[in-house]
Structure 1
Amino acid sequence: MILNTGIKVLSSLIILTCFSLKNKRFESRSESLFQKQSDTIISKELEEYIKEERKYLDSQCVTETARAQADIKKGKLVYFHYFGMVESYRSNAEMDVLLKQKNIEVGTALYYCTVPPELQNCYEDVMSKEIDRKFGPKFIDSLRHIADVQYVKKNIDKVYDFEECDTISRYPGSKSYGDFFKDYEKDFWKNVHYPDEFEYRKDKEFYSSISAKFTLHKNGTVSDIDIDLTFQNKKNYKYSSYFINEIKKFIKKTKWIPAKTMGITVNSRVPLTLFFK
């Protein structure tokens, strides 16, 4: 279908182009005719293609819905991991075991951005609704929670990314997760002073900053401190060692609160970013 469309459009374009070259005195007229007919051909072919595709998808959805209903009558249930979400769930292996204990099979599915949502994954949607009907709407979420706890317990010595952990403050004295990001920077600059010849930021669109990442262990100790420093004004790089030493001292003397994930204390990687004036 697409190949035939391309050939038809190409042929029409060649004919119209030849016509315009042979008729110089009608150049402006032929150019407008060329554009108009080309657009008409393309839009008609595209419209026809969309109609045919819609018919096919409608037919597929009806078939997949019927297949799912037939499988359910046979006692078959399938839970689907959707592509694009699979890697975001660290506990899929544990989840699969729990599902199979409930006699629920496991599969994978894709989302297509070019296909109307109501016409894709029709088999999967029917199965999802049946699982909710049979076990309750909170069943999958409760199972995922159990799977996540199992995963953490199996990987208790792993160093977790900051985002994998519960939203609790890692900084002492901060009342909330949000305060964490403001309080450590405020306290750092209370005791760190700019050198006399430090050149402050002039361009408001660009920032100078110093970033640090470190491993915060379950017992509260820190290790593996990495520092990255960027100055808008290159003359300030002569103060690099001063600021690097200051942030290392700040990290080491702070009594950080170990992270938790699923309520379990774990090792984590902590990022800090501080901006210069």
Structure 2
Amino acid sequence: MRNMKIIYLMLLFAFISCGKSTYQNQALKEQRVELDSENKYWDSICKVETKNAEKDIKQNKLTYFHSFGMVVQYRSNEEMNKLLSKYNIRIDSALYYCTVPGELQNCYANKMAQEIDKRFGKNFIDSLRIVAEKQFVKNNPNKIYDFEECDTLSRYPNDKSYSDFFKNYKNDFFKIAEYPKDFEFRKEKDSYSWISADFILHKDGTVTDIDIELTFQNKKNYKYSSYFTSKLKEFILKTKWIPAKSMGEIVNSKVPLTIHFK
């Protein structure tokens, strides 16, 4: 009887597995058919767009496309438009989708980009973009730039490289903010505790709008919140920060700091 049960269970498992496999295979086939149909749709659009682009190119109608979506985007599009107008290049925009094959979308824009490179050189657009970025910075002298918008130069004094910024200020902070004697340190498997700050560093080196947040995983350490908060504010105000630059121009910028506790 026991052997019969085992055989029955094996047959049942095989039946279920077979049914599951058949279902999965059918689902995969349907997905392939749907994908092939979608690719044919985009392929037909691409062919039409390519023909239209070739027609416009023969008539010397060139168009540059600002790209949006899953691509790099720029802040200096208005400045770029003015530069391109000097070369009689029109402006439009293209949206890129992550779900559509790259070679089948925005074929008109891609054909135009190839023609612009052919006529003006492969570095033409990149060189214009650099000029446009510089003009944007000059056109916005009072803008407060995000940390990532600025050149990769350290804003902390005496740093030898940009990467030094992310470690030296942390070490120096604990030179003025010693741990209290009964501070509860992080155990090996505990989550990290930290204190963070954001402030605006102006072009003249002054600091304003300091905002500090603090999180202790060990709740007993919250009694030292005001201590560490005041020490970080003191550290920020006493440091002679180096004003940021964007495209080589000195700018106002946001500076984020994050310090983890032991």
Q: TM-score range with shorter-chain normalisation?
A: 0.7 to 0.9
Structure 2: which amino acid aligns with 1:200? F
Shift of 1:55: 2.9
Contact (CA 8 Å) 2:151, 2:248: kept in 1 or not?
Answer: yes
TM superposition outliers: structure 1 runs of 4+ over 4 Å: 27-41
Contact (CA 8 Å) 1:86, 1:92: kept in 2 or not?
Answer: no
* Cα distance in 2 between the residues matched to 1:99 and 1:85: 24
The residue number in structure 1 matching 2:169 is 184
Shift of 1:60: 2.3
Structure 2: which amino acid aligns with 1:158? K
* Cα distance in 2 between the residues matched to 1:218 and 1:117: 42
1:156 maps to which of 141, 151, 171:
141
Structure 1, unaligned runs of 5 or more: 1-26
* Cα distance in 2 between the residues matched to 1:188 and 1:32: 62
The residue number in structure 1 matching 2:103 is 118
- Pick closer, same or farther for the CA change 1:239–1:92 going to 2, 3 Å: same
Shift of 1:52: 3.0
SS of alignment partner, residue 141 of structure 1: helix
Which deviates more, 36-45 or 253-262?
36-45
- Pick closer, same or farther for the CA change 1:70–1:170 going to 2, 3 Å: same
The residue number in structure 1 matching 2:52 is 67
Identity over aligned pairs, percent:
59
- Pick closer, same or farther for the CA change 1:209–1:46 going to 2, 3 Å: closer
| TM-score (normalised: structure 1) | 0.83
The residue number in structure 1 matching 2:179 is 194
Contact (CA 8 Å) 2:83, 2:128: kept in 1 or not?
Answer: yes
2:66 maps to which of 76, 81, 106:
81
Shift of 1:134: 0.8
- Pick closer, same or farther for the CA change 1:30–1:140 going to 2, 3 Å: same
Structure 2: which amino acid aligns with 1:112? Y
Structure 2, unaligned runs of 5 or more: 1-11
The answer to whether the aligner puts 1:51 opposite 2:36 as a matched pair is yes
The residue number in structure 1 matching 2:200 is 215
SS of alignment partner, residue 224 of structure 1: strand
Question: Alignment length, in residue pairs?
Answer: 252
* Cα distance in 2 between the residues matched to 1:87 and 1:54: 25
The answer to whether the aligner puts 1:171 opposite 2:153 as a matched pair is no
